[in-house]
A and B are shown apart, each in its own frame.
Chain A
Amino acid sequence: SSAVTQDPAVSVALGQTVRITCQGDSLKNYYANWYQQHPGQAPILVIYGKNNRPSGIPDRFSGSTSGNTASLTITGAQAEDEADYYCFSRDTSGHHWVFGGGTKLTVV
């Protein structure tokens, strides 16, 4: 399959660490970019490439890849991190881009 898949929902206690994952064969060859989207707002890029944060993104956000799984880790989750998170990468052909279905993160 050329798709990438995410768990629909994840929860984390305030201040704890959470990992949001994205699986797909293409991730063996391509990094995943990660987007955060709050309700009613445009997505914002939080991680790109191997593990790069755009300016203004807190360092509690980090990215990694192992095999066919890309992960976004939030170390010390804050209330404002509650949002939808999408992974975005190429498909196995490299000629198309694909989004994961999104993970709704709840901070409790």
Chain B
Amino acid sequence: QLQLQESGPRLVKPSETLSLTCTVSGGSISSSSYYWGWIRQPPGKGLEWIGSKYHNGITYYNPSLKSRLAMSVDTSKNQFSLRLNSVTASDTAMYYCASLGSSAWYKDSWGRGTLVTVSS
């Protein structure tokens, strides 16, 4: 059973970079069974997929965020990370890291989420 835990600053200033890390336990981040992804939910709004990264380096980003986004994986620490630059108040959201099944056989798992506020 995969478990994921987000960590990182909860408050980011406008125009700066939002950085979050997800620590994976209960399985290897080198697994081919999952994509490692980020999802967010602004207060009172719906869910938005941010991006996903596969063990072989293939990375997919939400087109609406692609120009500001970078994802990376640290296999030595079993972690993956998100960097979103030039943030504005509209980036204020609950951010979730997730393992997304690479096929229909594999169950998605999410972290509990972390609320990131963009404010000066």
Question: CA A50 – CA B103 in complex, angstroms?
Answer: 11
Question: CA A33 – CA B49 in complex, angstroms?
Answer: 13
Known: A43-B110, A97-B37. A102 touches B47 (CB 8 A): yes
Known: A97-B52, A98-B49, A99-B49. A45 touches B62 (CB 8 A): no
Q: In the bound complex, do residue B104 and residue A50 qualify as a contact, i.e. CB atoms below 8 Å apart?
A: yes
Q: In the bound complex, do residue A96 and residue B110 qualify as a contact, i.e. CB atoms below 8 Å apart?
A: no
Question: CA A99 – CA B47 in complex, angstroms?
Answer: 6
Question: CA A31 – CA B109 in complex, angstroms?
Answer: 16
Q: In the bound complex, do residue A96 and residue B60 qualify as a contact, i.e. CB atoms below 8 Å apart?
A: yes
* Chain B: CB-nearest residue to A32: B104
Question: CA A31 – CA B100 in complex, angstroms?
Answer: 13
Q: In the bound complex, do residue A33 and residue B60 qualify as a contact, i.e. CB atoms below 8 Å apart?
A: no
* Chain B: CB-nearest residue to A6: B46
Question: CA A99 – CA B108 in complex, angstroms?
Answer: 14
